[in-house]
Amino acid sequence: MVQTQAAMEAYNAYWVNSPVPAAEVMWMVVVLIVAILALWQARTFVSQF
């Protein structure tokens, strides 16, 4: 199913007031950084305990 114009407008409206530049991409970058950090810590944890 292709996104309708109304759906895309509603989606884009979420990021309009964000103080972060390119907020629609930046939140995903933040997620990936935190997730990789957690996974790295989990591997360290497995080797330590």
Partner 1 sequence: MDLQSLKKQEHQRRIRKGFMWAFFCAILWGLWYIPGTVVWVLNPFDEMYGEIAATNGDSTSLVITAVLITAFNALTVIMALMVWNGALGKFGEMKRTIMEFKPCSRWFFLASIFGGPIAILGSFISMGFVGGAFAAVAALMYPVVGSILASKWYGEKISKRAFVGIAFIIIGGITIFGGGLLTELGNGNIVWIGYIGGLMAAVGWGIEGAIAGKGLDIAEPDVGLTLRFVGENIIWWIIAIPLLAIAGFPMIKYALLVFEPLTMLLLIFAGITFGFCYVTWYKSFPLIGVGRGQGIGNLYGLFAVVFIALFFGDIPSWTILVGGALCLIGSSVMFSEDAGQLESLRGE
How many residues interact with partner 1 (rule CB under 8 A)?
34
- Least distance in angstroms from the C-beta of 24 to partner 1: 8
Residue 1: Cβ within 10 Å count: 4
Please tell me whether residue 38 binds partner 1 under the rule CB under 8 A.
yes
Between CA 18 and CA 3 the distance in angstroms is 23
Please tell me whether residue 29 binds partner 1 under the rule CB under 8 A.
no
Site for partner 1 in 1-20 (CB under 8 A): 1-4, 6-7, 10-11, 14-20
Residue 34: Cβ within 10 Å count: 10
Please tell me whether residue 23 binds partner 1 under the rule CB under 8 A.
yes
In contact, 29 and 22? CB cutoff 8 Å: no
